[in-house]
Every structure is written in C-alpha cells, then in structure tokens.
Structure 1
Amino acid sequence: MTITRRALLAAPAVLAMAPAAAQAGKITLVVPFPPGGSTDALARLLQSNLQTRLNRIVVVENKSGAAGALGAAQVAKSPPDGSSFLVTFDSHAVIPTILDKPPVNVERELMPVFLVGTAPYVIAANAGRPYQSFADVVAACKQTPGAVKYASVGIGTLGHLAMTVLGKKAGVEITHVPYRGGGPAMNDVLGGHVDLIAGSAALVAAQLGTNMLRPILQLGRERLPVLADTPTAIEAGFPDFETLAWWGIFAPAGTPADVTAGMAKSVKEILSEPSIATQLKETQMMTLLLEDANAFKPFFDRQVSYWGQVVRENNIRA
C-alpha cells in the first residue's frame, strides 16, 4: 500500500463523483496481481494523478491470488460508495470458468466503469530456433507432436488460451509450459528452455533489440508499427482471429451511476494528457480506447462469452 499525500480537503465541485459520506475518505484502487506488472503500473499512474485532481487520499492495494479473483472479490464486497475500485487485466473475463468455485461473480457483483485500452498478444520464438513463421511451428508440431514447447504467464491466461485455439485450428499439439509472470517466462525462452512465448506485445517488444527473440505472429487485427514485419494471425490464415490484452476499471455492483461516471470522467481526462498517453503507448504498446461503461460492458460480455467457451471446450482449470 502506498500513500503519497494526506490532504483531505476538497472542493464540492471536484468531488462530485463521491457521495457525501465518502468524500472525506480515501479511494482504494485494488490491483488483483503482484506489484510490477502492467496493471500495477497503470494503477499507480492513476493513483498519483487522481490524488492531485480530486484532492483525496488514493492508495493502491495489491491483492493477488486465484487468477485475480481474490482482489476482485475484495472490491465486490466493498461498500458501493466510490471508495473502492478494481483496476484489472484481461484475465478477469476468465474467472467465471477457469475456477471451480470462484469467490466472486464478476458479472453480477462488479460493474464495468472504464475501458482503458487494448494491446495484441504476440507469439515469438527463441532466435536460435528455426521457426521463421507460425507455419514453421505447425510443420514442426506435425512432424513431432508435442515437441514444440511454449511459455505463457499462467494457466488460463489469454496467451495460453490463444495458443490452445490456434493449435486446434491448425490441427496440432503445442506443449504448454505455464509460468508465474512474464519475467520468468521470458527468461526461459531467452535461455532456450522453451521454444516460444505467447505474451503481450509489451513483453515481447522489450526484447526486440537483443537479437535473442524473433516475433513470428501478432494477434491483433492490424500490425503494430514496432512489429511491422510480423504478420497477424488473420494474415497467416486464421480468419477473424484476434487476442487482445485489455485493461479496465470495475466498481462494486450497486455503485451509483454518478459515482462511476465521475471516476470514468476523471480517468479519461488523466489518460488523455499527451505525456501520459504516449507513456502507455510506448511502454505497453497500448491502443487507448478510453470508453465508459456503455461501451465497456458489451466488450466485457463478449470477452467472458468467447474465452469462457474456450475454457469449457478444452477443460482448462487454474
């Protein structure tokens, strides 16, 4: 938990997003993952700016565990008064199906507030491997089923699920090796212990200057400028297939509309500042969407439906 300012005074016009009972209190941004990841970085970026903008104490609390469900459950059980928000990642949509007994119903107990943006997942190979394209991976898998191994940042993450879908579409088996986070996964790919990694564009792009990693497929609809020579899955023969990392903010169900709208407005204004927008684009390869609940809810519902079906069809459990 980090507290960087203790001023509690606030002008009513600035604090219109919070009901009177909560105006004097702090705002907690719960991150359902350990410190150091992209979601944690986003939350801390928002923390400092919200604190200045709202003149209230804003803290970030990391509550990891159960594929992000523990942090989500904490927010769901918090008072719906604008004092607690969940800042989370794409794996949030898989909680209903990846866990046998989820501690939270993410569709009923939490409400979408703000969709920050998206970034494509990317498949990359250790540069010492012979794979120049995903077609080369498919050919190797057909020649020796199960011999090609790929790393992901965990069971049930979208990197894992995307590779599961691509393998089925191509009719091959690609062996999954899950890790606890992007750092350990990338280290083993660079070290040659596994052949491939399915990770976020930011995770892969950070290694582009090392000549140790070769991107072979990106899973957005359009090529990223930093990966201009890497085809999309659609271009590689997988029609209409995309896998996007996304970042979003949720509140406890029942939080008043004016409260969530106020938070969405503040976050949008912060992330629209050129220096901050550039930072997110460069560090996370993020396409900023900056959309409120009206657009976020149907987006989230589609994510829950699509990836939930993948989890069920392949009997994947965390």
Structure 2
Amino acid sequence: MRRFCTALFATLTLCATAAHAQTDNWPQRTVRLIVPYSPGGTTDYAARQIAQALSMQTGKTFYVENKAGASGTIGSDMVAKAAPDGSTFLVNDTTYAMLPHLFKKLPWDHANGLVPVTNIVDTPLVVLVGAGSPYRTIKDLVDAARRTPDKLTFGSGGVGSSTHLGGELLKQHGQLALTHVPYKGAGEALLGVVSGQVDVLVTASPTAIAQIKGGKVRALLVTAAQRLPVLADTPTSAEAGMKNFTATNWFGVAAPKGTPPAIIDKMQAEVKRALRSPELKARFEEQGATVGGMSPSEFQAFVRSQTQEWGRVVKAAGVQPD
C-alpha cells in the first residue's frame, strides 16, 4: 500500500508539473482569434492589430478567423465549445453584452460559458448626419425631431446591432421620436447617411473618422468625456447639451470556460504589453480609440455591468427578443 501511494503521489506530481510547464510555456502552438463578424469592421480591425502584435512578441503565430452570423452568436458559440487549451479565443464587442436581451435562448451559457480576459480598446460613439444635411448641431437635429415626430430617420446595421441600440440610446437621452431604418450592415448604414437616405447614424468612431475627414458626413457630437484629438472640432455630449449620453463601444478578448487561469493571465499580460507599444497605441488613437488592458476580474465585472445597462436600453426601446 505504501508503495502504491508513493507511486500515485509521484504520478500526480508529474502530471501537475507537466500541466504547469504547459501553461508557463504558453503558447506552444498557433493561436486563433475568432471574430464573430465579417472582415472589415472595427472588431476585425482590433483583432488583426492584436494578432500581429502578439505574433511579434511571442514568436508564435496568432491569426484571425472570421465566423460571422446571427449577431455574433455563431462565432461566440464556437469559442464557448472549443477546447479550453489556450489555442482559441474570442474577440468580440459591445454587442456581446446585448445578446441575452436580443435572443430568448442562446446556444451557450452567456454568463459563464466564456471567460473574459481583457479589453483591447474602447471607442466613443459619434452622431453623424450627411454632409448636405441642414442640421449643423445636435440642437438643430433635436429641434427638428421634436417639431415633426417620427419624420426623421436613423439608420443601423440591423435590428439589435450596436448601431441600432446606439440610435435608441440617442432617442432616449434626447427624448426624440425617430424612425428606425435597418440595413444589412453598418457599412450600408453609413452609406445611407452619406447619401441622405437616412437623417442620422450613431456609430463607433473608427467607422466614422474616414468619412468625416473626407467631408462625406458631419459629426454632431462624440460620446466621450473629452474631445478626441482626431476629431478636435466635434463637441462632446456634455458640451452639446446631452451630458448623460456617454456610451462607448468596447472590444475585448474572451476564452472558453475551463481555460487554465495561468493561460488567461498570460494572455491578458501579453495583450496589455502589446497595447503599451507606442506604435500600436498611436494606431488605435488615430481611430479615436483608447487602449485597454483590464485584468480578467476587472473585465468580467465590466462585462456584467454592461450586460445590465444594455438590457435596460433594449427594454426601453421595446426590442423583442428572437
């Protein structure tokens, strides 16, 4: 019996040592970052910037794989059901916090099926009108919307998208009656406001900056505490008279439930180190984004609070879950 216990103890110690070494040496192989949307959006951009930086830092390959569909649920579910060995992570955005309020049932446990790792960047929202719009300020838009309720329209990338709920948040803070016009994606919605098909669009700053700089759209306000250097002429919500309109669009990393804490911590540390790079930080700031790097516990608390806050927006907007 003594020999059996000694052998068992040695085996368990060996297994523990091997597991510890595996996490210490992570990543030992290629790591994929799943983006639950099509290529070309802000989430995809953030993921590719981080993948490139992590590959350079670690000497291992980090690559982005797009698994779009169903408001991000297909890619999210894929990661939730992936092996928790540190080879697969999810890069998602604010929409993740909205999902349990938009769907009656999700194919994974939204609260516990994925482990928040860290945030990559936060971006304020920008309220846009077309370059030919008669509305020069947010006050002009608010006054017109109140004079003719439901006549003015706001575009979005689809029902339940972040642009849809951003528009609903504008309606709620401004006490406005605007008619929602959903498009098949944020890119089409942006073209809608550029062409004048819709009166206003609320979207993340990286989506809007090129069109603003190109004179295709006009920014009426940005939902940031301070003016963005890249949009120095655009007033903040507080300056424009809507001080409580402070929503942001955030982008972050999550892992499958069961991923070893040591791998979670190392991934967070590597992402944070990448975000402290002057080159990457400047690249994101050019898009109006603020770099993140929260600890896993901080990010988990943040995601939970965001899920509650966006739930209130969805409920107030009367959006019915599918």
Q: TM-score range by the shorter chain?
A: 0.7 to 0.9
Match runs of 1:130-209 below 5 Å:
130-209=134-213
Alignment pair present for 1:300 and 2:284: no
Query: 2 CA distance for matches of 1:265 and 1:223?
Result: 29
Whichever residue aligns with residue 265 of structure 1, its letter is: A
Q: Which residue of 1 aligns with 2:97?
A: 93
- Say if 2:42 and 2:207, in contact at 8 Å, map to a contact too: no
C-alpha separation in 1, matches of 2:235 and 2:108: 38
> 2:152, 2:199 within 8 Å by CA — same for their partners in 1?
yes
Letter in 1 for 2:228: L
Q: What is the alpha-carbon distance in structure 2 between the residues aligned to residue 71 and residue 210 of structure 1? A: 33
Measured against aligned partners, the alpha-carbon deviations of 1:65-100 in whole angstroms (never above 9, x if no partner) come to 111111111111111111110011111111111112
Alignment of structure 1 residues 280-295 onto 2, 5 Å: 280-282=284-286, 284-295=287-298
The DSSP-based 3-state class of the residue aligned with 1:206 is: helix
- Cα shift at 1:229: 2.8
Quote how far apart the aligned CAs of 1:33 are: 0.5
Does 2:267 correspond to 1:224?
Answer: no
| Deviation at residue 245 of structure 1 after TM alignment | 1.0
Amino acid at match of 2:227: R
1:112 aligns with 2:106: no
Q: Secondary structure at the match of 1:103?
A: coil
Distance apart, 1:144 and its partner CA: 1.6
Q: What does 1:199-278 correspond to in 2, within 5 Å?
A: 199-278=203-282
SS in 2 for 1:240: coil
Indicate how the Cα distance of structure 1 residues 228 and 48 shifts in structure 2: closer, same or farther if over 3 A, else same.
closer
Pairwise CA distance, 1:19: 3.6
Q: Which structure 2 segments of 5+ residues have no match? A: 1-18
Q: Which has the larger radius of gyration?
A: 2
How many pairs does the alignment contain? 303
Separation in structure 2 between the aligned mates of residue 277 and residue 169 of structure 1, nearest angstrom: 32
Structure with more helix by fraction: 2
CA 214–59 in structure 1, closer or farther in 2 if over 3 Å, else same: closer
Distance across 2 between alignment mates of 1:171 and 1:56: 51
From the superposition, tell whether residues 193 and 294 of structure 1 become closer, same or farther in structure 2 (CA, over 3 Å).
same
Q: Distance in 1 between matches of 2:131 and 2:20?
A: 54
Greater mean deviation of Cα atoms: 34-43 or 156-165: 156-165
What CA distance in whole angstroms lies between the structure 2 residues aligned with 1:17 and 1:149? 57
In 1, Cα distance between the equivalents of 2:90 and 2:244?
30
CA RMSD of aligned residues (A): 2.3
2:263 & 2:34 partners in 1: Cα distance?
17
- 1:108 positional shift: 1.0
Distance 2:185 2:267 in 1: 29
**Distance in 1 separating the partners of 2:312 and 2:71:** 17
The 3 A distance-change label for structure 1 pair 17 and 76 is: farther
Mean Cα displacement is larger for which, 129-138 or 38-47?
38-47
Aligned match of 1:48: 52
Quickly say closer, same or farther: Cα 1:58–1:203, change in 2 above 3 A. Answer: closer
Correspondence for 1:312 among 287, 293, 315: 315
Task: Report the Cα distance in structure 2 between the residues aligned to 1:111 and 1:289, rounded to whole angstroms.
Answer: 17
Indicate how the Cα distance of structure 1 residues 149 and 308 shifts in structure 2: closer, same or farther if over 3 A, else same. Answer: same
C-alpha deviation, 1:20, in angstroms: 8.5
1:64, distance to aligned residue in structure 2 (A): 0.8
Q: Tell me if 1:78 matches 2:82.
A: yes
SS in 1 for 2:292: strand
Please give the alpha-carbon distance, in whole angstroms, between the structure 2 residues aligned to 1:165 and 1:236.
16
TM normalised by structure 1 equals 0.88
Structure 1: gaps spanning 5 or more residues: 1-14
The residue type paired with residue 206 of structure 1 is A
CA distance in 2, matches of 1:280, 1:230: 18
Q: Deviations over 1:180-228 (max 9, x none)?
A: 3332112121111111111111222111233331111211222212323
Secondary structure of 1:223's partner? coil
Is the contact made by 2:163 and 2:186 (CA closer than 8 Å) also made in structure 1?
A: no
> What code does the residue aligned with 1:220 have?
A
CA distance 1:307–1:22, shift in 2 (3 Å): same
CA distance in 2, matches of 1:286, 1:309: 25
Range with bigger deviation, 99-108 or 15-24? 15-24
Instruction: Give the CA deviation at 1:18.
Output: 4.9
Please tell me the residue identity of whatever aligns with 1:130. Answer: P
